[in-house]
Structure 1
């Protein structure tokens, strides 16, 4: 059973990393500010953004369908949600808070040198707040496994 739990935990970690990266690409490629850096061709950044959104959505659906870990014994399901996993979730939540504060500081500092609109700043900070905990949880799960 330990091998099955390790496989399922490893799969969850990989899915979270892939989802976080796809979410970041989707959001950042959709910003007008970054399409200007890409040479002004909005079609290219829109295509990349749409592709990343599709990949993120498919990964989310797969992750949600496997939430109950169909076919796994109750012991394996319980092991995937034990006290250590719950503690890692809380640590990841805390890390996400700090990532958002650091992102806000970076955006604020950058806005002193480059014009950044308010909605772009908010979106960048929120992207950091969504992706940060996902990556932190995957790192914590890999370290504590």
Structure 2
């Protein structure tokens, strides 16, 4: 069982890395697009940070690939995809859905009060909708793993 516990922690860490790297990549890219008319140092910083985030995203994808091989070697697919894991995955998906839905509904009245480009807000909402389920699923997995010990 130690192998399965190690794999659960590894999956959670990879998900945290993936969420961080995807967020860094996308949020800095959005910031760079917003600052594209002004240019300057902050524009360059956003561009560099976006590139670093994109590279970290590639690294996290490699870690997912390596994790998949480790699961196959340990023959632990069944243990890592049990009912509790499926329930956690469903909770994370529903959580992400309601966050996207709620932020979209908040965006509608916000356009009446503030003047901004909606495409940037939609990109932020989409990025949040991708990141939060990763984080929530990893949190639930670690919380349940700690409770099992």
With structure 1 as the length reference, what TM-score do the two structures score? Answer: 0.85
Gaps of 5+ in 1: none
* C-alpha contact 1:103 1:124 (8 A) present in aligned 2: no
* C-alpha contact 1:97 1:129 (8 A) present in aligned 2: yes
Find the residue that maps to 2:47 and give its secondary structure. Answer: helix
Q: How does 1:38-117 map to 2 (within 5 A)?
A: 41-68=42-69, 69-72=71-74, 74=75, 76-108=76-108, 110-117=110-117
1:24 aligns with 2:10: no
**Deviates most, 105-114 or 14-23:** 105-114
Measure how far apart 1:124 and its partner are: 0.8
Gaps of 5+ in 2: none
Measure how far apart 1:58 and its partner are: 1.2
With structure 2 as the length reference, what TM-score do the two structures score? Answer: 0.82
Measure how far apart 1:71 and its partner are: 2.0
Structure 1: how far apart are the matches of 2:19 and 2:36?
Answer: 21
Query: Greater helix percent: which structure?
Result: 2
Structure 2: how far apart are the matches of 1:88 and 1:54?
Answer: 28
Measure how far apart 1:94 and its partner are: 0.4
Structure 2: how far apart are the matches of 1:86 and 1:109?
Answer: 36
Measure how far apart 1:80 and its partner are: 0.6
RMSD: 2.4
Q: Which residue of 1 aligns with 2:34?
A: 33
In structure 2, the CA distance between the partners of 1:53 and 1:40, relative to structure 1 (3 Å rule), is same
Measure how far apart 1:110 and its partner are: 4.8
**Deviates most, 108-117 or 134-143:** 108-117
Find the residue that maps to 1:116 and give its secondary structure. Answer: coil
Aligned residues between the structures: 142
Measure how far apart 1:33 and its partner are: 2.9
Structure 2: how far apart are the matches of 1:25 and 1:63?
Answer: 18
